Structures are given as structure tokens and as C-alpha cells.
Amino acid sequence: MIAKVIVDVPSRQTDRPFDYEVPPAMQDWIEVGSRVGVPFGGRVLQGFVIGFAETAGIDAARIKPLSELLDPVPPLLPDLIELAEWISDKYCCSWIAALQAMIPAALKGKAQRLISLNPDEAEEGDGLTSLLPVELADWLAKQGQAKLETVQERFPQHAAAVKMALREGVLLEQASIRDRLAVRKVLTVFPPHDRAAAEEALAAFPVRAAKQRELLAFMLERGEPMPLAVMLAEAGGSPASVRSLVDKGLLGLREVEQQRDPYAGREFRHTEPLPLMEGQQAVYERIAASVSRGEPQALLLHGVTGSGKTEVYLQSIQHCLELGKQAIVLVPEISLTPQMVERFKGRFGDAVAVLHSRLSNGERYDEWRKIRSRRVQVAIGARSAIFAPFERIGLIIIDEEHESSYKQEESPKYHARDVAVKRARQHGAAVVLGSATPSLESFAAASRPPAPGRESGLLPMPNRVGDRPMPPVDVIDMRAELLEGNRSMFSRRLHAALAERLERGEQSVLLLNRRGYSTFVMCRSCGYTAACTHCDISLTYHQKTRALRCHYCGHAELAPKNCPSCESEHIRYFGTGTQKVEEELAKLFPGIRVIRMDVDTTTEKNAHEKLLKQFGDREADVLLGTQMVAKGLDFPFVTLVGVIAADTSLNLPDFRAAERTFQLLTQVAGRAGRHHLPGEVVVQTYTPEHYAILTAQHHDYAAFIREELKHRGVMGYPPFCRLVLVTMSHEQLAQLSSVSEQFASRLRELAAAEGVLDSLDSGSKRALEVLGPVSSPISRMKDRYRFQVVIKYRGNIDVPALLRKATAPFLEGPAQKQVLFSIDVDPQVIL
């Protein structure tokens, strides 16, 4: 039997299955999806079995056997193996990158070398003594096997001897894959099997073994297993006395697996389904019907903020579970707040696994295993939870589907929304995309006329729960404020509104719209900004260490006291601004209680959670923050939302700038007046006439879409076409420039040969344009220059195939000479 294995080597040449023989002993265990160790180029590497064959594709004599099978139950399922191939094809990444993205970090095995004495040599004896120092030989004999690293650490003086012994075969070397993290095991004491016998023994114990006697009596009384450490702490005594009781067969002692549960000890109040509102009911029925049919279908739930989307999700999942199927819920990392977790745990209790990046690798691994071993039926998590190893998925929900964080920025550069649709096709599952501000792409797709006999995939919920009104939005022109002599960062309107809230004991949310780099250093005399010497990007200031750090390459230096360019002392650190707002608030409203939420205050684990809890418990008057405060929060006493500057995100060089601004304003405005108290919103801006701001003011998604679609159409951007960004990098500018020119013209030739090279304005159904090469917006990173080519296309064109052909000639030759190609299909940002 031959196994086809994708091996963990990140190179284009090896991005294909390799054949290995399956040793007879493994044959009953191995499956598609198994993780194996394989000999590869003199080492043992990790790989994944993607299929089997009767005979090998190459000369049978050259086939090597698999070295080891790493898990009794394969971590991946056949549908995920198929999905990995699809991802590698669609997003132009290696298979191994796609496969690695699907398993928890704990399973990303690490090769290790084990050293042991050669038993044949040991018998003869003389080989050992002549070659190996006695202390090392004795130690190894006792250990049986030891890691090479440990030997090196313990016996640094014997390096030469070890090497010689290995060469002479006195020592044996074995490579093996070790998981980065194992299941956590706890040494546990078990009470006597045979109670009667134990009681008899207890009576007969000799006096001098008083401690053993005491421990046995203690365990007899307890009658249930307990961790050794706990037992010793409670009953006193030593491990030795436990050990003798175990040797006498009176107690048991075994390692027991312990689950790392990030939510251990937390009570989630159980909730019952709420009677649905009319709008919710209609949408719920459509989703439930789709789940019942068991055919793949994508639905867009367009529900305004506060329309009760979460309750619809919960009841749809309930329906899915009743059919014996499983559900995946994706939420943006940033809104995976305790509130969200609570809602799901409260309804489904232990049937829920939670996967997010703030978990430790161990906690993540254990949550993942709950899914794999069918102990839970619902997985909720950020982007990568789309790979939850469920076997019968009935429903996939993507909340806040417009969020750009669903696209992974590093390889594999997949979009969780598209992967969800593919996975739903494999399982016959329904995909529900939910948002108050759907992305243009999703909205355009759902608005297409449905196939005959099919219903539209667009599910609207235009009203808030209980028909609460949307909060009125006041747009304040900050230019006018300045003209009238108000130089403060607060308009008179926002100032008055805040004062009112303080008086009434209600709460406010303040958003400082700021994207990108939190803090940078600028000289106010000459305009010098501190930039990384390896990358073409400003350095970020870290207050704690007083260091300037590069976001891309990690380069760090001490912050200068004088300007390196003009020696002026007027060199300043420009913060996120939240700190400044906080100071200003304290000045204007003495005694005001502010919770600041930004990158600086949320670095610690659970900080986010703690701050929100404080705010929810009304320990503060104002929640002030960046984008983090805009999403998903549902606090009944928030009646005012203020946006300090709406324009920042509008001015970014990004074709989605208007869309992002509209989404952000709509989302944050939606935090106000969600319960009985009415809310209001104040938006400060320098461009009050911009359609993104005007339409957000009137909660008018349809008007925004109309306007934005016009712009996209004129400029030739998605959803009217699709984009692929190819970034090339090299240390030498000349080399890069010439290769990128060659690449672009080769790409044009290939497209022309396919008959698709055409202007997008041409009106033809299939058209592809190649723009560039030009220098990337970040023109240098980690000492490598960067050029980019943007491909715009429309219609059914196999662009990944074109790209594979176009890049092929540049991937040969020695690696250091090669220009690196990085391909981003459907990029979120063009940087």
C-alpha cells in the first residue's frame, strides 16, 4: 500500500504529494487525513496523508516506508484535505500552508533527534568503554533514550565523543516528530479497588508506618480519585509513602488527562429561546427550511443594528442541532467579546467550543479536540474556526460578514467567507452572512435574480427589536466650529450632550476613528519622522520601554531626545490620540470616569474583557476607544455615541475607504439606544458633505450602496471586477525592476494567448488587465525592495493557472538570486 503525502517543506518545487510505503503494522490505523513522519532528504519531517494508491508512481526500489504515524485518530478529515487542495489552487499557496492552517499550533510537530545506546554494542562492552565516557554511558543506560539537545546540554564536554560514537554505531540516532504541546496530564491517586481488603490492611498496618496508614484512611474516606498534588496538600505525607501504598496494591496512581478549559469555573446563566419578533420569525423560517433541505445555500441576513440577529442565529443553530448536525459561527476577533461568548454558552452550555487568539496554545488545542472528538456540536471563533473538524455541518454563520479580518493577510491568504461557501457545498450546509452593513460584494451577489423556482438569498430585517427607533445622528462641521472660535476637539454639541449624560447618570461611547500605526515620532521643527532603516515605514513608539519599533521586521531602537535630522528638541510622540482625548475629558468634566480601550490598554490577556465588564457594571461614564468600541456591544444605558473625527478612515488610499467609513459610523451609531432609553449620535467631521457620512447619518444603506456602486463602476473596482495583487521583492532594485517587467509582459502575453487581454471598459464578458509594475506603497520591507502588479479581471478566467505559468520561469536558479513572489487573491488592502 502506498500513501500519498504532502510533506512540510515550504518550497514550490516540493509542493506536490510524495509516495511512501505504508508498513503493515500501520495499515489498519492510517487514513486520509493522518499525520505522519516521513524520511525526507536525510531528515524526518511531518506530513499529511491525502490519499492512497496500490502502486507507486516512481521506481518501487526508491520508495521509502513511512517512519511513524503520529496520531491514532487523524486530525484532519477527508473533506478538509479536499478543501486544502481547493485553497491552494484558488489562493495560489502551497498545499502544506493550507493544511497547516487547519490544525492547532500544538499539532505543528517539531522534529527531534533521540539518542540511545546500541544494544548490540552494549553487550560486548568494550566498544562502549573505549568510545564513551563512563558517566555518559551510565546516564544513557539509565535513560534508555534521550533527546540530542539534552545530551548536548548535560555533557557539553563530550561532544566529540558523542559524534564519534554515532559514527561508529555505538550510539544510535533516531529522528522523530514531537508535538509542540501535549495533552495535559495530571498524576492522580485512585482509592482502593477492593474496599474490604483495604480496610483489613488498614487495621493490620504496623505502627511505624503511621503516615501510610493515615493516607490510606484518607483515601478510603474520600472514595474518589484526586490529583496527587492536591491529596498531599490536604492529607500531608510524601510521594514516597503514596508510592509504597501503590506498590502494595492498596492505592492506584495513574496519569489522567486534564482539559484546559478557558471558561472553567465560570457560570453561564442558561437562557431560553425568546419569542421571535415578526421580522425575526420570517428570517428564521427561511434559514431553518434551508438547513432542513440539506442543500448548500448562501443567505445574506441584512439586519439593522439592534434588529436581533443573534437571537435568529441561536434559534437557527438550535434547529440544526435537532437535526443531528453541527454548526460553525464565525465572528470577527475583535467582537469575540465575553458578551458574545456568554450568549452562546448561555443557550447551548457545554455543547460549545470557543476558539480565539487570546487562548493559549494549550487551551486552543483542548477546545479543538472537543470538536474533533464530537463532544461539542457548536464551534464559535474567529476566521480559522471555519476549519473546525466537524463531520456533518448543517449551518455556518458569519456574523459581521463585511469585516476585513475574515481575510487572512499571510499565506494562505484565504477569505473565510469564500471558504465557508465551499465547505457548505461539501456538506450540504446553509451559510448565513449577517450584517447591518453587508459588503458590496455580498450584497451584489445576494441581489442577483434567483434561479427559476428558487427564492432570493437576501433576508432583510429592517427594524429594531420592539420597533425601537434608530437613533438620530447629528453631523457637526468642525470647520464651522473653528471659524466660530471653538478650538477644542469637542464641538459644542458633543460637549453639551456629554454633560447631559453625566447629569442623568447615563453612559456614552466615544470613538476616535484611527487606523494604522498607533504612535509615531515627528519633529515639529523640520518634519522628520522616525522610519525603519530596513523598511519604508514609520517606527512605532512604545511608551513602556521608550523604544521605537518596526511593525514589519521587529527592528528596535531607543527613542531619540533630539531630532536626528536638525537636532531640535521639539521632537514629539504622537499617540493614538485616545490619551489626549482622555486628558481633555478630565479637564472639561472633573471627576468623569473614563475607560480607555485601545492597543495600549488591551495588550494583557483578558484586559478587553475586564474593561467591558467594568463598563457594563456602570463603573464608568464613558467608554473611549478606537475601532474596538464600535462593534457588537449591547449595553442598555448607553444613550450617547460620539465620533470625534469621522474623516480619518475616509482619507486612506484604499478603494474601500468610503465603504469602511460608512460601516464604521453605522456600527458605532448602532450602539446607542438599543433598549428602553432613547439614544442619540453626534458625528464630528471636516467633510460633512461626503456621501458616506450623509448616508450613515440617515441610516440609509440602500442610498450608500447606490452611490458607492456608481463610483466603483467608474473606477473599475470590485464588485464589477476582481483583483489579484502580486507583490515582488528583492534586495537589489535593478534585479527586481527587470524581473517584474519581464513578469508583467509574460503575463500579458499569456492572457493575450487566451484571448482575454482586454480593457475592462470594453464590455466583453471576459476581460483581464495587467497594471504595473509599480513600486508598492510600502516600497521597502526587511531590506527588500517591493514592486507590485495588480490584475483586474471579469468573467470566468482561471487566473491562478495563468499566474502559475507566468511565475514559473522566475522560480528556477539559486534561491538567493530569486525574486520572491507573493500573490494575494481578492486583496483587502493594496499595500
Nearest alpha-carbon partner for 289 in 319, 250, 254, 248? 319
Nearer to ligand ATP, 311 or 680 (CB): 311
Helix (H, G, I), strand (E, B) or coil at 134: helix
Candidates 436, 440, 620, 665; binder of ligand ATP (CB under 6 A) is 436
Nearer to ligand ATP, 103 or 509 (CB): 509
Candidates 178, 555, 675, 748; binder of Zn ion (CB under 5 A) is 555
207: β partners? none
Alpha helices in 568-723 (DSSP H): 578-588, 607-616, 657-669, 691-697, 701-715
Nearer to ligand ATP, 406 or 520 (CB): 406
**Residue 569 near residue 561, CB atoms below 8 Å:** yes
Q: Is 613 in the site for Zn ion (CB under 5 A)?
A: no
Nearer to ligand ATP, 309 or 656 (CB): 309
Identity of the residue numbered 117: L
Candidates 444, 553, 559, 652; binder of Zn ion (CB under 5 A) is 553
Candidates 52, 218, 517, 528; binder of Zn ion (CB under 5 A) is 528
Residue 526 partner contact from ligand ATP, Zn ion, none using kind-dependent CB cut-offs of 5 to 8 Å: Zn ion
- Shortest distance, position 106 Cβ to ligand ATP, whole Å: 32
CA distance 402 to 199: 67
Candidates 566, 586, 771, 774; binder of Zn ion (CB under 5 A) is 566
Residues 485-524 that bind ligand ATP (CB under 6 A): none
Nearer to Zn ion, 183 or 553 (CB): 553
Candidates 150, 318, 361, 565; binder of Zn ion (CB under 5 A) is 565
Nearer to Zn ion, 497 or 550 (CB): 550
Establish whether 93 is an annotated binding residue. no
Helix (H, G, I), strand (E, B) or coil at 461: strand
Candidates 521, 550, 581, 791; binder of Zn ion (CB under 5 A) is 550
Alpha helices in 518-606 (DSSP H): 578-588
CA distance 308 to 201: 65
Residues 575-604 that bind Zn ion (CB under 5 A): none
How far is CA 128 from each of CA 97, 121, 473, 550, 748, rounded to the nearest angstrom?
A: 45, 7, 85, 53, 67
- Shortest distance, position 313 Cβ to ligand ATP, whole Å: 8
Nearer to ligand ATP, 106 or 432 (CB): 432
**Residue 494 near residue 473, CB atoms below 8 Å:** no
How many CA atoms does the CB half-sphere of 675 hold within 13 Å? 9
CA distance 684 to 491: 7
Q: Is 674 in the site for ligand ATP (CB under 6 A)?
A: yes
Establish whether 721 is an annotated binding residue. no
CA distance 584 to 593: 13
Candidates 271, 360, 525, 737; binder of Zn ion (CB under 5 A) is 525
Residue 563 partner contact from ligand ATP, Zn ion, none using kind-dependent CB cut-offs of 5 to 8 Å: Zn ion
Q: What is the CB neighbour count within 10 angstroms for residue 378?
A: 27
Residues 457-476 that bind ligand ATP (CB under 6 A): 465
Candidates 274, 482, 752, 801; binder of ligand ATP (CB under 6 A) is 274
Nearer to Zn ion, 373 or 533 (CB): 533
Q: Which three cell numbers stand for residue 490?
A: 469637542
CA distance 10 to 6: 11
Q: Is 241 in the site for ligand ATP (CB under 6 A)?
A: no
Interface size with Zn ion, residues (CB under 5 A): 15
Candidates 468, 534, 613, 675; binder of Zn ion (CB under 5 A) is 534
728: β partners? 787, 821
Pairing of strands 473-477, 680-685: parallel
Phi first, then psi, for residue 291 (nearest 5°) are -65, -40
Cβ-based neighbours of 706, under 8 Å, separated by 6 or more: none
Helix (H, G, I), strand (E, B) or coil at 487: coil
Report the C-alpha dihedral over residues 582, 583, 585, 589, rounded to 10 degrees: 140
- Shortest distance, position 435 Cβ to ligand ATP, whole Å: 7
- Shortest distance, position 202 Cβ to ligand ATP, whole Å: 58
- Shortest distance, position 465 Cβ to ligand ATP, whole Å: 4
Residue 553 partner contact from Zn ion, ligand ATP, none using kind-dependent CB cut-offs of 5 to 8 Å: Zn ion
Phi first, then psi, for residue 18 (nearest 5°) are -110, 150
Nearer to Zn ion, 270 or 524 (CB): 524
- Shortest distance, position 537 Cβ to Zn ion, whole Å: 6
Nearer to ligand ATP, 177 or 314 (CB): 314
Q: Is 277 in the site for ligand ATP (CB under 6 A)?
A: yes
CA distance 621 to 506: 7
Alpha helices in 655-725 (DSSP H): 657-669, 691-697, 701-715
Residue 303 partner contact from ligand ATP, Zn ion, none using kind-dependent CB cut-offs of 5 to 8 Å: ligand ATP
Q: Which three cell numbers stand for residue 50?
A: 491525502
Query: DSSP for 140-175?
Result: HHHHSEEEHHHHHHH-GGGHHHHHHHHHHTSEEEEE
- Shortest distance, position 528 Cβ to Zn ion, whole Å: 4
Nearer to Zn ion, 176 or 525 (CB): 525
Binding characters for ligand ATP, 299-338, by CB under 6 A (x = yes): ----x-xxxxxxx---------------------------
Identity of the residue numbered 203: A
Nearer to ligand ATP, 305 or 661 (CB): 305
Nearer to ligand ATP, 464 or 596 (CB): 464
Establish whether 92 is an annotated binding residue. no
Q: Which three cell numbers stand for residue 10?
A: 515550504
Nearest alpha-carbon partner for 298 in 392, 391, 434, 390? 434
Residues 58-87 that bind ligand ATP (CB under 6 A): none
Candidates 162, 334, 563, 597; binder of Zn ion (CB under 5 A) is 563
Binding characters for ligand ATP, 626-645, by CB under 6 A (x = yes): ------x-x-----------
Q: Is 616 in the site for ligand ATP (CB under 6 A)?
A: no
Phi first, then psi, for residue 620 (nearest 5°) are -145, 160
How far is CA 230 from each of CA 1, 209, 226, 398, 565, rounded to the nearest angstrom?
A: 50, 21, 7, 43, 63
Interface size with ligand ATP, residues (CB under 6 A): 19
Specify the length of the chain in residues: 831
How many CA atoms does the CB half-sphere of 824 hold within 13 Å? 17
Residue 632 partner contact from Zn ion, ligand ATP, none using kind-dependent CB cut-offs of 5 to 8 Å: ligand ATP
Residue 565 partner contact from Zn ion, ligand ATP, none using kind-dependent CB cut-offs of 5 to 8 Å: Zn ion
Q: Is 572 in the site for Zn ion (CB under 5 A)?
A: no
Nearest alpha-carbon partner for 14 in 815, 791, 831? 815
**Residue 541 near residue 520, CB atoms below 8 Å:** yes
Q: Is 568 in the site for Zn ion (CB under 5 A)?
A: yes
How far is CA 40 from each of CA 25, 84, 747, rounded to the nearest angstrom?
A: 21, 22, 34
Q: Is 679 in the site for ligand ATP (CB under 6 A)?
A: no
Nearer to ligand ATP, 107 or 696 (CB): 696
Residue 222 partner contact from ligand ATP, Zn ion, none using kind-dependent CB cut-offs of 5 to 8 Å: none
CA distance 152 to 154: 6
Rule CB under 6 A: which residues touch ligand ATP? 274-277, 280, 303, 305-311, 436, 465, 632, 634, 670, 674
Binding positions: 523, 526, 532, 535, 550, 553, 563, 566
Contact residues for Zn ion, defined by CB under 5 A: 523, 525-526, 528, 532, 534-535, 550, 552-553, 555, 563, 565-566, 568
Which residues sit in the known binding site for Zn(2+)?
523, 526, 532, 535, 550, 553, 563, 566
